[in-house]
Amino acid sequence: MTVPAGKLPLPELRAMKERGDKIVMVTAYDAPGARFAEDAGIDVVLVGDTAAMVMLGHEGTTVPVTVDEMLFLTRTVSRQSRRPIVVGDMPFGSYQVSDEDAVRNAIRFVKEGGADVVKLEGAVSRARAIGEAGIPVMAHIGLTPQSATMLGGFKTQGKTAEAAQKLVEEAHALEDAGAMSIVLEAIPAPVAARITSELSIPTFGIGAGPDCDGQVLVYHDLLGLTEGHLPRFVKRYANLSREIRDALEAYAAEVRSGAFPGEEHTYEMSAEELADFEGNALDRAVRPRER
């Protein structure tokens, strides 16, 4: 696949929406993931706070991941992302306290993390403050994992007419606040379609139907690295967890049987050097011990 060289300009995302070109976003959390996304021609890489679950081992919540942890991951991904736009996900606690705190942490994501854009859930006033500081903002509405407890868990949002209308109004408020794009998570497809048609900024769906301007999935989910229950909106494009487990089991078996390492995996030395080495060892063995 041939893709244009150089960093994708942010205005190009809106141009893609206007042309009807679908935008591709995927999460990544490390250098290999970023390189694979780059090679695949991915447009936007999100260093998501889902790292709490898929990278750091927290069960069923994104809340525990810290700013410093997210900065480390964002910085790692940014180093390897030459074309894709890199979005740093601001974790819980990094923007809820005040506009000033939100701006301060957003600046860290740009200066220390190398992010092109920061993402936050809801928070219209925070989006406006960060945008006014000159930092592009990706908003996120619908199922917002950081506040999932208040939403009654990881459940579809906007299923009633009243709730759906509130989502539409929230999306408009975020666009008016200066958000450059918006993630729509786990909302009925007709609601996402209406939001997408009414906004001038791109929408990214995750469990929001086919009419969004782009789609996003979690790296570990689509590659089959996540095991156990998956949300309905996830499509697995590979089953790497099985392949990885098979490879590790085969490695362990060969180490225990002595099959690995084989001759092709070892280094040699010349016969002359080997003879000198073994002769020196013999000399040391028979030399009287000095007192």
Cα-based distances in Å from 229 to 56, 59, 115: 18, 12, 31
Residue 185 designated active-site: yes
For 41, list phi and psi in degrees, rounded to 5: 80, 25
| Other residues' Cβ atoms within 10 Å of the Cβ of residue 117 | 23
Among 254, 255, 270, 205, smallest CA distance to 234 is for: 205
5-26 as b/e: b if 16+ CB within 10 A: eeebeeebbbebbeeeeebbbb
The token duo for 21 is 């070109």
> What amino acid is encoded at 290 in this protein?
E
- First-to-last C-alpha distance (Å) of the chain: 72
Q: What is the spatial distance between Cα 223 and Cα 28, in angstroms, rounded to a whole number?
A: 12
User: Which one of the listed residues 121, 170, 175, 185 is annotated catalytic?
Assistant: 185
Query: Could you list the active site residues?
Result: 185
